Amino acid sequence: MKTPQLSLKLLLPLFLLFSCSPTISTFDQTAYMQVTSLKVDALNLMDKATESYTAHESEVKTIQLAIDKAIEYDKHRPHNEITINMWTILNNPEGHLFGGFLVKWKKEGKCNEVYIVDKKKQIGNSFDQIAELESKKTKPSEVTK
């Protein structure tokens, strides 16, 4: 009977060590503000897709640059692979979210309103998922407790 208790006593410190080491990054206010701000900017830009892409090309480039900066910021946060994967999917020019939307708009010149409304729901939800993940991460002050 002593052996199982001894084994548990030896495993407990290892469990505590691994349960305290982060497997996901901690909450970052800057990252949260970036994703929520970019959501608003992206959805507002999408409303303009009923108009000529070339008329809004500079706005597209501005938002794309801001997204690239947010991704770069998140890449340098430790244990942040899940968030990076989410950004990659959202921003993929060959995908069906924001990156793909921009490519389609550019290729076709304009998008119809029904398509835009549908895509705004999907893309808005994707931004929300990134923001929700960030908001649910452990706050740095909670890690040190």
Say whether 27 sits in a helix, a strand or coil: coil
Q: Please write down the long-range contacts of 88-91, taking CB distance under 8 Å and 24 or more positions apart.
A: 89/126, 90/123, 90/126, 90/127, 90/130, 91/67
pLDDT confidence of residue 11: 53
pLDDT lower than 50: segments of the chain: 1-8, 12, 14-19, 21
pLDDT of residue 144: 56
pLDDT tens-digit map of 73-91: 999 999 999 999 999 999 9
**pLDDT tens per residue across span 95-118:** 999 999 999 999 999 999 999 999
pTM: 0.81
Distance CA 127, CA 130 (A): 5
